[in-house]
Structure 1
Amino acid sequence: MQQEKISEALKTALADSRLQGTHISLYLAILTIWEEKNFKVEFFSCRKNIMTRSKIRSFSTYHVKIRDLVDWGYISYLPSYHPLEGSKIALIQLSESKKAYQK
């Protein structure tokens, strides 16, 4: 069931013309972390881990793309300014994301 959600999330992201390769890479990294965290509604991950997985090396690019994913309804993101605590991330329900994209 959860694998179907990942598949649906990727299909939705790939169909969204606003997303560039870096958005897709970042979103895929977040999806893999979500899977590792046993599909919890909210989970924590540090910026370094997400950047490494998504192959994004620029802090500026990372923050711009995260902001886009938040603004476009793909994720909820609450940054942590503590190096050992991760930022709080939640995936927005895909049905909500699709509605926002179709407007």
Structure 2
Amino acid sequence: MKAAELLKYVSSFEKDERLSVWHLALLFAILTLAYKQKQYRTIQVSRSKIMKLSHVNTLPTYHKYFKELQDFGYIKYIPSYHPDCRSEIDLLKRY
């Protein structure tokens, strides 16, 4: 995803009335990790990093809004059950 596509992706958030501050905080954390990794399609993630960056401090809140982001079509979560491999998030086009 190029910078222009990323800007379109971010601007689509304001049009979606389903998104709450919790969704936006999680998306901000995911996009921050994407930027740091210079990856705009598939991002290596850990729950602890996303929670820290988003300031979401409880697991029930994290799981609820993270799942809704998947249901709304913003992200696709690909879990890794291997201790040495991180999970991945695919950013899905929504514009």
* TM-score (structure 2 length as normaliser): 0.86
What's the counterpart of residue 49 of structure 2? 49
SS of the residue corresponding to residue 43 of structure 1 reads strand
The alignment status of 1:91 with 2:82, answered yes or no, reads: no
- Measure how far apart 1:66 and its partner are: 0.9
- Matching residue's letter, 1:88: E
Q: How many residues align?
A: 95
Q: Which runs of 5 or more structure 1 residues have no equivalent in the other structure? A: 96-103
- Measure how far apart 1:88 and its partner are: 1.1
What's the counterpart of residue 16 of structure 2? 16
Cα pair distance change 1:89/1:13, threshold 3 Å? same
- Measure how far apart 1:14 and its partner are: 1.8
For 1:9 and 1:53, the matched residues in 2 are separated by 19
Kindly report the root-mean-square deviation, in angstroms, between the aligned alpha carbons of the 2 structures.
1.8
Structure number having the greater helix percentage: 1
The 8 Å contact of residues 40 and 91 in structure 2, kept in 1 or not, is answered as no
For 2:83 and 2:27, the matched residues in 1 are separated by 22
Q: Which runs of 5 or more structure 2 residues have no equivalent in the other structure? A: none
For 2:40 and 2:10, the matched residues in 1 are separated by 18
What's the counterpart of residue 101 of structure 1? none
Cα pair distance change 1:81/1:62, threshold 3 Å? farther
What's the counterpart of residue 79 of structure 2? 79
Identity %: 33
* TM-score (structure 1 length as normaliser): 0.80
